[in-house]
Amino acid sequence: MSNQNYRKAMAIEAKNKKRILEVNPNVDDGSGIYVLTRTDEDGIRYAYIGQAKHLLTRLAQHLSGYQHIDLSIKSHGLLSVDENIYGWNIGFFHYEVDDLDYWEKYWIKKYAQYGYQLRNKTAGGQGEGKKQIDEYRPAKGYRDGIEQGKRMLARELLSIAEKHLKIDLREDKRGNKISQKQYDKFMALIHAEGNDESVHDSDE
């Protein structure tokens, strides 16, 4: 790599690290497990869990890469309370390097059990014989039951709203784009009782 290309690469890395720290100022270059999470406009939760000898550096690399999760970050952006509430949030746990395989597998399984749609392709670890992540995904029947419960709740809320409530934005939130999006989301949710779609497992 030429000096010019090296300087360019270092500048991009520094810029990406700054973006990571804007989301989570506590991320450092210690070893550990990082957890990327986001919730979309429909309330569906996604997660990606990875391991790194140098957490901040590895997370910065995701902003310039072309793996599945990298492209999702490019598409949805990073979390910003003011500008992008549906972006990827960043969390992490510090662990010794020799323990990373164990803890990566542990947290992937945990987040699957928490009900997150995992963006990981395997169940973690760097050795041979990686398990496919499908083993940890909730059964389709379970997900269908969740969706049915949401539709029943939407019907009940809509009935109450139409008979007894007047739903509108607060005066101090009028003209606020995020508040308007949340209002639109709420109205879409309570009017979704006739929508029988139950996908929510497609790759982003």
pLDDT in tens, 95-140: 999 999 999 999 999 999 999 999 998 876 765 445 665 555 555 5
Bridge partners of residue 72, in order along the sequence:
none
Reported as a pLDDT band with limits 50, 70 and 90, residue 195 is very low
22 and 6 Cβ atoms separated by less than 8 Å: no
d(CA 24, CA 155): 38
DSSP class of 90: E
Whether 55 has a pLDDT exceeding 70, the answer reads yes
| pTM higher than 0.85 | no
Reported as a pLDDT band with limits 50, 70 and 90, residue 191 is low
Phi and psi of 140, rounded to 5°?
-60, -40
Whether 14 has a pLDDT exceeding 70, the answer reads yes
Mean of the per-residue pLDDT values for the chain?
Answer: 82
50 and 111 Cβ atoms separated by less than 8 Å: no
Tens of pLDDT, residue by residue over 137-187, are 555 555 566 666 666 777 777 778 777 877 888 888 888 888 888 877 777
**CATH code linked to domain 3-136:** 3.40.1440.10
Q: Where in the chain is the domain with CATH 3.40.1440.10?
A: 3-136
